[in-house]
């Protein structure tokens, strides 16, 4: 019955010692420091290239930079150890904390040890693609640091969550809502306060093409969880299926998907190309809030 009642979605997201306003779309720029990510693996693998690209992300509209050191690409050769992931991510966090002191840094990890070291180095958000399932200690680390937390819906392990191995649902929407709700409950029990939690439906993760489109269309239902919604449609295969374009040519489709998601209640958008998404979201926001546009 509680899920059937309308919820008031917060207008701020508390991360560390600051609150980010969600009165306008919030853009999270993707910085993959991996050799094997599906879209840009290897391009920003060394520290100077990573730092320069982070600057580009911010200059083109990113409000937050999300740093990832472990790919979820299907077919990756070996799991990434905590030590290897830290060697990739921690120097970037340390460098960006000095180069971009006013930009919040997020770390995309499922490992408590990586989260702990990166939060101590200056990150203020942990983006957990397992929704807190794979390493329960991560939630306690986030709670202790007072960091922001993104709980993404997925199933399976890092190695297979981006495949169709776990894409069988009896009731897609309600199962995703229930599983995200369980993630919120785990986080709160670990000490994370609700004002620090954001949910992500996990477009493309344990979801077939048609399921991702259905979820995008029905996104507003997730507001029943009472938490801000982040979406990450960037360069995903369901966009390629619709447009017939390869991964490298999906930024316009990504921007369009972001605008559709904003119209359905999403507040935060994780993208590879902030520039195109910024413009699409600015138009979507102006259409909804015309008084926000200066004459």
CB atoms within 10 A of CB 129: 24
Contact 271, 28 (CB under 8 A): yes
Rounded distance between C-alpha atoms, residue 276 and residue 286, angstroms: 16
Residue of 117, 235, 264, 270 with catalytic role: 270
Per the annotation, the verdict on 236 as an active-site residue is yes
Annotated active-site residue in 236, 264, 288, 291: 236
- Tokens representing residue 126 in the block: 């942990």
Rounded distance, CA 204 to CA 108, Å? 17
Dihedral pair phi/psi, residue 22, rounded to 5°: -115, 20
* Burial grade of 294 (CB within 10 A; 0-12, 13-18, 19 or more): exposed
CA-based nearest residue to 148, from 30, 31, 57, 12: 12
Helix or strand run (H / E) with residue 293: none
Active-site annotation holds for 267:
no
From the list 64, 55, 52, 78, the residue with the least C-alpha distance to 27 is 64
Which residues are marked as active site? Answer: 236, 270
């Amino acid at each position: 019955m509680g899920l059937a009642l309308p919820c008031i979605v917060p207008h701020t997201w508390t991360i560390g010692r600051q609150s980010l306003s969600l009165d306008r779309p919030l853009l999270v720029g993707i910085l993959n420091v991996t050799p094997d990510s599906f879209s840009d693996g290897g391009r920003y693998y060394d520290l100077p290239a990573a730092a320069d690209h982070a600057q580009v992300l911010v200059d083109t509209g990113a409000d937050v930079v999300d740093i990832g050191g472990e790919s979820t690409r299907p077919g990756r050769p070996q799991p990434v150890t905590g030590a290897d992931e830290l060697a990739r991510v921690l120097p970037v966090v340390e460098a960006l904390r000095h180069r971009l002191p006013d930009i919040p840094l997020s770390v995309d990890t499922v490992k408590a040890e990586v989260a702990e070291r990166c939060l101590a180095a200056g990150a203020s958000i942990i983006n957990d693609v397992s929704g807190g399932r794979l390493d329960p200690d991560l939630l306690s680390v986030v709670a202790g640091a007072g960091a922001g937390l993104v709980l993404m819906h997925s199933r399976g392990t890092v190695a297979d969550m981006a495949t169709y191995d776990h894409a069988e649902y009896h009731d897609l929407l309600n199962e995703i809502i229930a599983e995200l709700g369980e993630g919120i409950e785990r986080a709160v029990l670990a000490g994370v306060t609700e004002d620090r939690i954001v949910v992500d439906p996990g477009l493309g993760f344990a979801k077939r093409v048609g399921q991702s489109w259905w979820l995008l269309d029905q996104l507003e239902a997730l507001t029943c969880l009472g938490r801000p919604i982040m979406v990450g449609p960037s360069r995903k295969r369901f966009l390629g299926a619709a447009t017939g374009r390869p991964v490298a040519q999906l930024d316009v489709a990504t921007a369009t998907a972001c605008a559709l998601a904003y119209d359905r209640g999403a507040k935060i958008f994780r993208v590879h190309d902030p520039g195109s998404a910024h413009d699409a979201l600015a138009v979507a926001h102006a259409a909804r809030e015309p008084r926000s546009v200066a004459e």
